Amino acid sequence: MSIKLGVPSKGRLMEKTFDWFGARGIGLARSGSEREYSGEVTGVEGVELVLLSAGEIPRELAAGRIHLGVTGTDLVQEKLVQWDQKVAPLAELGFGHADLIVAVPSCWVDVNTLDDLDAAAAAFRARHGFRMRIATKYHRLVRAYLHEGGVSDYQLVDSQGATEGTVKNLTAEAIADITSSGETLRANHLKILAEEPVLRSQATLFKSRVAPLEEGERETMRLLQDRLGL
C-alpha cells in the first residue's frame, strides 16, 4: 500500500506545489494528458499523487482518504469543525498568501474598527428594520470572528463569487472575503477594517490525524518527512 498525497489539481497552486516538492528532491507531475487528473511521484517509493480541487482536500484529509494534502489554511478552518483534531499542519509552503478580511464601503468614514462596525450595525437595524448584511462564503470563520469581536445586529448573506460587488448592488452592506492585494476592494470602493484579519491564510501541507497507516506506510511517511526536512 502507499501513502496518498492530495494536491490542488490546477493553476498556480498546483504548479507552485510541484515546485516546492521538486526543490526538496520529490518530483511531482501530472501523468498523461492535460485533462487527466492523475499524477506520478518520483524520488521516493510508495507515495501516490491524488489531484483534487483545493476545496475538497480538507474533507478528504478529515475522512482519512488521503494521508497528506496541500490546501489553504482558510479552507481547512472554514470546512472542518475542530480542524486541529482532524489534521496537523506540517509546513507552510510560502505561497498562496491571502487574508480573510472584513471590508466596508470607503464612504463609511465613521467605521474603521469592529467597535465602529457594531455601533453602526445597531443604528442600521434601528433605522432599516433588519440586521446589517455581510456577504461572505466563509460563514463559520466570520461568525466566530464577529462573535469574538462583540459585533451583533448583523446577518451573513451567502455570496459564492463577485462578493465585492454586493454592496454596490444593494444586496449587502459589508463583505468578508479573501484578498491578496486589495486592488479589487479599492476598485469597488471598499476599505478593510483596521483590525487583525479574520485569518491569514497560505498554502500549507497538512497531515491527516485520522488516516490509518500500516507498518510499511509508516516507514514511507518517516522517509518522506525526512526528505522534506520536516
Partner 1 sequence: MSLAAIKEKAATLKAGFIESGAEPVDCPVLLPADTLLDLYGEDIRTRAFLTHDPVRGEVILRPDFTVPVVQKHMAEGAEPARYTYAGEIFRRQEEHPERPSEYHQVGYEVFDRADPAGADAEVFARFSEALASYGLRAVVGDIGILIAAVEGLETSEARKAALMRHIWRPRRFRALLDRYAGRAPVPSSRTALLASPDPLSLAGPMIGLRGTAEIAARVDALRADAQDPVLPGDQVDLLEALVKVSETCGNALEQLRDIAVDMPAIAGAVDRMAARCVALAARGIDVTSLMFDANFGRTSMEYYDGFVFGFSARGRPDWPLVASGGRYDALTRQLGQGREIPAVGGVIRPGLLVDLEEAA
- Residue 64 lies near partner 1 (rule: CB under 8 A): no
Are the C-beta atoms of 68 and 46 separated by less than 8 Å?
no
- Residue 120 lies near partner 1 (rule: CB under 8 A): yes
Are the C-beta atoms of 88 and 230 separated by less than 8 Å?
no
Residues 15 and 21: their CA atoms lie apart, in Å, by: 10
Residues 197 and 212: their CA atoms lie apart, in Å, by: 35
- Structure-block grid coordinates of residue 215: 507498518
Query: Which among 151, 92, 77 is positioned nearest to 118, based on CA atoms?
Result: 151
Using CB under 8 A as the binding criterion, the count of chain residues that bind partner 1 stands at 42
User: Residue 140 or 222: which CB sits closer to partner 1?
Assistant: 140
HSE toward the beta carbon, residue 49, CA cutoff 13 A? 23
Give whole-number Cα distances, 117 to 88, 100, 134, 154, in Å.
Answer: 34, 17, 11, 9
Q: What binding mask, one character per residue, do residues 178-197 give for partner 1 by CB under 8 A, x or -?
A: -----------x----x---
User: Residue 142 or 205: which CB sits closer to partner 1?
Assistant: 142
Q: In the set 60, 78, 173, 177, which binds partner 1 (CB under 8 A)?
A: 173
**Least distance to partner 1 from the beta carbon of 111, Å?**
8
Q: In the set 33, 82, 160, 181, which binds partner 1 (CB under 8 A)?
A: 82
Q: In the set 112, 184, 202, 225, which binds partner 1 (CB under 8 A)?
A: 112
Q: Count of CB atoms within 10 A of residue 102's CB?
A: 23
Site for partner 1 in 145-164 (CB under 8 A): 146-147, 149-150, 152-156
Residues that bind partner 1 (CB under 8 A): 81-82, 105-113, 115-116, 118-120, 122-124, 127-128, 131-132, 139-140, 143-144, 146-147, 149-150, 152-156, 167-168, 170, 173, 189, 194
